[in-house]
Amino acid sequence: MHRKKSASTIHAYAARAPGKPLKLHTYEAPKLGEHDVRISITHCGVCHTDVSAIDDYYGITTYPFVPGHEIVGYVSAVGRAASGLKEGDRVGVGWQGRSCMKCEWCLKGEEHLCMDIVKSGTWVPYGGFSSSIVVDSRFAYPLPQAMRSEVAAVLLCAGVTVYSPLRTYTKGSAPKIGVVGVGGVGHVAIQFAHTFGCEVTAISSSPKKKKEALAFGADHFIDSNDADGLRQVEFGFDLLMCTASDGVKWEKMLMILKKKGRMILLGFPTMALHPLDLVAHELSITGSFLGNRSAMKETLMFAQAHGITPKVELMPMSQVNKAIQRVKENKARYRIVLVNKDGV
Ligand SMILES: [Zn+2]
Ligand SMILES: [Zn+2]
């Protein structure tokens, strides 16, 4: 008598060592925990964070490593205690696929700060460049019916990354905001900040992005290499949202913050700055990481209600290495989402 297989085989793309191209990787689907759902993946975004993690930039990557954390698909199996979702539901999952649910931060509803955050990523054990994934149902979000899957995929990471700090730091006011970097996250930040009613200035080292930045909703554009242009906005901004992955001119950026202004770091650029302005003008530099579950839900609803639409290139998942190369070379305009048409 044959033993019935408890789970099907999953086909994914994995890096087997830092910096290596992704290759097909098969593994047995993890057992479904009582709160878990299995999701059959149709779309997965390629994020700068995936590309850095392939190279173990964060020091948390284990190999073989299947990247992918901007996941959209259909629920294909539901755990015993998973409530609110059923087979066939279209859902999205971001960077976080579970959390301990018992640490100080989880109990406060700040699950994205879970003390066990490394184990909470959807990358663990394997991420979304794959035919399917198992996550805690409490981190799988039903999607608005009219929202395109590739749009949802980007909102689940870049969207919540900008929505969450805007929710925290605008609080009923409409601060003057500078968005530093007009790329995968920056073009989404401009759209959200504009919709929050803020006066938005896009700040980029690529003057050729001016036209698009204004079309995304920026009121003004400044070339970050234009010293005169920056001098004209000295003490000009309440908030700077730094979306650039590198090349930030720190002292110039601090110079254009108002006194008591705040720079919010959304990426991981190298930091080098003289603390003079930081101290003398009582400036703050704050990190902001994703958002909690309520921010995830609000991001999707807010974007749907206001027509916020990230600009996406679609590519078949079989071209994952080509997509990664485009992200590495900053050629993606502005995000790439892989489509799993006929399975991996
Ligand atoms: Zn991401
Ligand atoms: Zn926790």
- The CATH number of residue 169's host domain is 3.40.50.720
- With 80 as the cut, is the pLDDT of residue 333 above it? yes
Boundaries of domain holding 277:
158-287
Task: Kindly give the distance from the C-alpha atom of residue 90 to the centroid of ligand 1, in angstroms, as a whole number.
Answer: 20
What is the per-residue burial (b if ≥16 Cβ within 10 Å, else e) of 237-269? bbbbbbbbbeebbbebbbbbbbeebbbbbbbeb
Same domain, 226 and 271: yes
pLDDT of 149 reads: 97
Report if residue 2 sits inside a domain.
Answer: no
The radius of gyration of the chain from alpha carbons, rounded to an integer in Å, stands at 20
Which ligand has the minimum distance to the alpha carbon of residue 268? 1
- With 50 as the cut, is the pLDDT of residue 68 above it? yes
Q: What is the pTM of this model?
A: 0.94
- With 50 as the cut, is the pLDDT of residue 2 above it? no
- Identity of residue 275: P
pLDDT of 245 reads: 83
CATH at 35: 3.90.180.10
Average pLDDT, the chain: 94
Same domain, 19 and 135: yes
66-92 average pLDDT score:
96
pLDDT digits (tens, 9 = 90+) for 181-201: 999 999 999 999 999 999 999
Instruction: Identify the burial level of 4 via C-beta atoms within 10 angstroms of its C-beta, where 0-12 means exposed, 13-18 middle and 19 or more buried.
Output: exposed
What's the token pair of residue 129?
Answer: 């460049």
Same domain, 123 and 238: no
Q: Which residues lie near ion ligand 2 (Cβ < 5 Å)?
A: 99-100, 103, 106, 114
214 torsion bin: left (phi>0), alpha (psi -120 to 50), beta (else): alpha
pLDDT of 341 reads: 79
- Identity of residue 200: V
Quickly state the pLDDT bin for 3 (edges 50, 70, 90): very low
Same domain, 208 and 133: no
pLDDT of 92 reads: 98
260-268 average pLDDT score:
95
Quickly state the pLDDT bin for 344 (edges 50, 70, 90): low
| Total structural domains within the chain | 2
Report if residue 147 sits inside a domain.
Answer: no
Task: Kindly give the distance from the C-alpha atom of residue 290 to the centroid of ligand 2, in angstroms, as a whole number.
Answer: 15
Same domain, 104 and 214: no
Task: Kindly give the distance from the C-alpha atom of residue 312 to the centroid of ligand 1, in angstroms, as a whole number.
Answer: 14
Which ligand has the minimum distance to the alpha carbon of residue 93? 1
45-61 average pLDDT score:
93
- With 50 as the cut, is the pLDDT of residue 4 above it? no
Task: Kindly give the distance from the C-alpha atom of residue 120 to the centroid of ligand 2, in angstroms, as a whole number.
Answer: 9
pLDDT of 172 reads: 77
Which ligand has the minimum distance to the alpha carbon of residue 267? 1
Same domain, 108 and 194: no
- With 90 as the cut, is the pLDDT of residue 5 above it? no
Same domain, 255 and 168: yes
pLDDT digits (tens, 9 = 90+) for 201-251: 999 999 999 999 999 999 999 999 999 999 999 999 999 999 998 889 999
Quickly state the pLDDT bin for 14 (edges 50, 70, 90): very high
pLDDT of 343 reads: 58
Task: Kindly give the distance from the C-alpha atom of residue 335 to the centroid of ligand 1, in angstroms, as a whole number.
Answer: 10
Same domain, 33 and 137: yes
